[in-house]
């Protein structure tokens, strides 16, 4: 019988992995590896590396307890070749294995590396997702617009989640209109469940501190779940403590509250510690038991079986060149304050420093603060995209690229979004308390102390007028611009130019 290796990657920490199902415990050997090619293709946040290494080590022990022969390469092993193909070759030489079984990676970069590996690698579909590549391609076939809402409805019908026969629970598919409440006095977010590092985690933290301690991001106060039991406890904590309020305030932002009522389950789901079905069913059960309102549960379920699945479908449908798209021709370098938080714009300082500390920011902070500013300022979408891939513990290219290149930066020309997600300072002021703490004045449109978001919003619309003025969702914006006094329009352009020049020169803004 041919001896085979079974590759398990760091984001494939699921017991029910397709490659493992194809394997034989009696003869096959599982390979897992901490390698520099994965930690260094971008300079990942230390907390992300620590989370994955600790979860990988614990997963390897679970596989051994289940009867698998596991060969595990630690980062500091002297024989480690520091690449996935290199470790497969090393273990094939060591064991006499002649081929590799692997579940399809979530990034074209790794798919290419495995396809070029000297040992034959048999890739099996990653069926931990709800929607297969073929199913998404069939859904997309012939559609002029690939809008998430229509895809989401198909996934609701497929799963039966929040369905009453063939109708959506409550009579509506989407309760997003009820999920946009600004923060109010007296909110008390409980935040995610936190776990004290055990011996395995502490060993990893020591390794990561020694190897990656000089990177962007703090390794202090590490509390992530690193095994399925902990992740399920984190899920139960969210369902009980935060889900009832999650819907109302999922778009709200408050200084000093980086988590609000968000679940912080995405790192666990994306790494395989939790499955989409158990997460969604727990939320739906809370609704059916009367413990969480429909608007909260629907909004949460939509993020998982709607948005998450849709984004993955877009990534594989559009192909390997997708992350490099730059439909608006933006080329300004990423400002240094994205790495330091050293800016007078309080909203950006708050979101960037929280990201440095936690390897996390919630979706409105990502889309409407750091992403909104990047788009308004014309930052290079590839630099922006790389930043998101580096700084967040839940970021992998399949999920990060469509969210940033598509949704956030409109660099895909409208594949994901029907219009650019841009706003002036008023949106941030309405949905947060950030503007109360800012050196700039959100009510000042031009002149000394004017909020940069106000200037750059109109500056963006003006410089991209030819591209967007016929977009029905943006017509009102251009009518408002045209109604402005000509002198005010000229002032906006002049001051916007000056701000962007200071930004490009590296001056403090």
| Cβ atoms 129, 312 nearer than 8 A | yes
257: pLDDT strictly greater than 70: yes
Query: pLDDT per residue over 364-375, tens digit each?
Result: 999 999 999 999
337: pLDDT strictly greater than 90: yes
Query: pLDDT per residue over 442-474, tens digit each?
Result: 999 999 999 999 999 999 999 999 999 999 999
- Contacts of residue 466, defined as CB under 8 A and 6 or more positions apart, other chains included, come to none
315: pLDDT strictly greater than 90: yes
Cα–Cα–Cα angle for 173, 413, 395, nearest 5°? 70
Tokens of 241: 């403590």
| Cβ atoms 385, 401 nearer than 8 A | yes
Band of residue 179 on the pLDDT scale cut at 50, 70, 90: confident
May I ask the CATH architecture of the domain 337-505? Answer: Orthogonal Bundle (1.10)
CA-CA distances (angstroms) from residue 336 to 232, 254, 293, 340, 348? 38, 24, 42, 7, 12
32: pLDDT strictly greater than 80: yes
Band of residue 186 on the pLDDT scale cut at 50, 70, 90: confident
Q: What is the pLDDT of residue 423?
A: 95
Comma-separated ranges of CATH 3.40.50.620 domains in the chain: 4-124
- DSSP code of residue 61: H
Query: pLDDT per residue over 139-177, tens digit each?
Result: 999 999 999 999 999 999 999 999 999 999 999 999 988
Q: Point out the least confidently predicted range of 179-188, 320-329, 343-352.
A: 179-188
Q: What is the pLDDT of residue 1?
A: 66
- DSSP code of residue 379: B
Mean pLDDT, residues 306-325 taken together: 97
Q: What is the pLDDT of residue 185?
A: 83
Tokens of 394: 């839940």
210: pLDDT strictly greater than 70: yes
Q: What is the pLDDT of residue 97?
A: 95
- DSSP code of residue 305: I
CATH number assigned to the domain with residue range 4-124, chosen from the 4 options 3.40.47.40, 3.30.390.30, 3.30.300.30, 3.40.50.620 = 3.40.50.620
Interatomic CA distance for residues 110 and 112, integer angstroms: 5
Comma-separated ranges of CATH 1.25.40.80 domains in the chain: 133-213+225-318
Query: pLDDT per residue over 476-490, tens digit each?
Result: 999 999 999 999 999
Cα–Cα–Cα angle for 247, 252, 255, nearest 5°? 140
Mean pLDDT, residues 44-64 taken together: 98
Mean pLDDT, residues 243-263 taken together: 93
Under DSSP, is residue 30 helix (H, G, I), strand (E, B) or coil? strand
Mean pLDDT, residues 28-48 taken together: 97
Interatomic CA distance for residues 298 and 286, integer angstroms: 11
May I ask the CATH architecture of the domain 133-213+225-318? Answer: Alpha Horseshoe (1.25)
Interatomic CA distance for residues 104 and 288, integer angstroms: 36
Averaged confidence pLDDT in the chain: 96
Of 484, 476, 473, 495, the closest CA to residue 418 belongs to 473
Handedness of CA 318, 319, 323, 324 (dihedral sign): negative
| Cβ atoms 371, 288 nearer than 8 A | no
Kindly write down the DSSP assignment for every residue of 230-293, as one continuous string.
HHHHHHHHHHHHTHHHHTTTTT-BBTTBSSTT----HHHHHHTSS-HHHHHHHHHHHHHTTSS-
% of the chain with per-residue pLDDT over 70? 100
Query: pLDDT per residue over 100-114, tens digit each?
Result: 999 999 999 999 999
Quickly count: other Cβ atoms within 10 Å of residue 442's Cβ.
Answer: 22
Find the helix packing angle between 84-95 and 108-115, rounded to 10°.
30
Mean pLDDT, residues 13-19 taken together: 96
% of the chain with per-residue pLDDT over 90? 96
Q: What is the pLDDT of residue 88?
A: 98
Band of residue 2 on the pLDDT scale cut at 50, 70, 90: confident
Band of residue 281 on the pLDDT scale cut at 50, 70, 90: very high
CA-CA distances (angstroms) from residue 123 to 108, 190, 204? 13, 42, 30
Mean pLDDT, residues 225-248 taken together: 96
Band of residue 506 on the pLDDT scale cut at 50, 70, 90: very high
| Cβ atoms 152, 122 nearer than 8 A | no
Kindly write down the DSSP assignment for every residue of 452-474, as one continuous string.
HHHHHHHHHHHHTHHHHTT-TTT
């Amino acid at each position: 019988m041919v001896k085979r290796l079974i590759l398990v990657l760091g984001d494939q920490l699921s017991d029910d992995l397709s490659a493992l199902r194809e394997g034989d415990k009696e003869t096959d050997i599982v390979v897992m590896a901490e390698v520099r090619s994965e930690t260094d293709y971008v300079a990942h946040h230390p907390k992300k590396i620590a989370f994955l290494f600790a979860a990988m080590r614990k997963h390897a022990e679970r596989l051994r307890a289940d009867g698998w022969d596991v060969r595990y390469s630690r980062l500091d092993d002297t024989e480690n070749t520091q690449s996935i193909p290199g470790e497969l070759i090393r273990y094939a030489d060591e064991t006499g294995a002649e081929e590799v079984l692997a579940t399809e990676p979530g990034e074209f970069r790794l798919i290419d590396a495995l396809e070029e590996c000297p040992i034959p690698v048999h890739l099996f579909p990653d069926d931990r997702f709800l929607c297969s590549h073929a199913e998404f391609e069939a859904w997309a076939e012939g559609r002029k617009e690939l809008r998430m809402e229509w895809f989401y409805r198909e996934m609701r019908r497929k799963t039966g989640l929040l369905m009453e026969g063939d109708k959506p629970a409550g009579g509506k598919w989407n309760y997003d209109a009820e999920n946009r409440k600004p923060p109010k006095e007296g909110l008390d977010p409980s935040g995610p469940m936190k776990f004290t590092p055990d011996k395995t985690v502490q060993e990893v933290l020591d390794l990561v501190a020694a190897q990656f301690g000089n990177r962007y991001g703090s390794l202090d106060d590490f509390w992530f779940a690193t095994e399925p039991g902990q992740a399920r406890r984190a899920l139960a904590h969210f369902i009980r403590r935060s889900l009832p309020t999650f819907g109302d305030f999922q778009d709200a932002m408050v200084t000093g509250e980086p988590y609000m009522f968000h679940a912080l389950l995405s790192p666990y789901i994306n790494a395989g510690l939790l499955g989409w079905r158990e997460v969604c069913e727990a939320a739906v059960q809370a609704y059916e038991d009367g413990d969480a309102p429909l608007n909260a549960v629907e909004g949460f379920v939509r993020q998982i079986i709607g948005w998450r699945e849709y984004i993955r479908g877009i990534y594989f449908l559009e192909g390997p060149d997708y992350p490099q798209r730059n439909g608006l021709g933006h080329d300004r370098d990423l400002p240094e304050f994205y790495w330091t938080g050293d800016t007078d714009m309080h909203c950006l300082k708050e979101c960037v420093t929280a990201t440095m500390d936690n390897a996390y920011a919630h979706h409105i902070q990502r889309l409407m603060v750091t992403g909104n500013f990047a788009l308004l300022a014309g930052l290079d979408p590839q630099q922006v995209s790389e930043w998101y891939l580096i700084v967040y513990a839940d970021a992998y290219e399949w999920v990060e690229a469509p969210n940033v290149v598509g949704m956030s930066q409109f660099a895909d020309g409208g594949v994901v979004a029907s219009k650019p997600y841009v706003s002036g300072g008023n949106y941030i002021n309405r949905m947060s308390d950030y503007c109360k703490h800012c050196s700039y004045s959100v009510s000042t449109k031009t002149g000394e102390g004017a909020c940069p978001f106000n200037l750059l919003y109109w500056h963006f619309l003006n410089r991209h007028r030819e591209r967007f003025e016929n977009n029905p969702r943006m017509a009102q914006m251009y009518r408002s611009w045209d109604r402005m006094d000509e002198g005010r329009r000229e002032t906006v352009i002049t001051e916007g130019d000056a701000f962007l020049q200071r930004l490009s020169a590296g001056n403090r803004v």
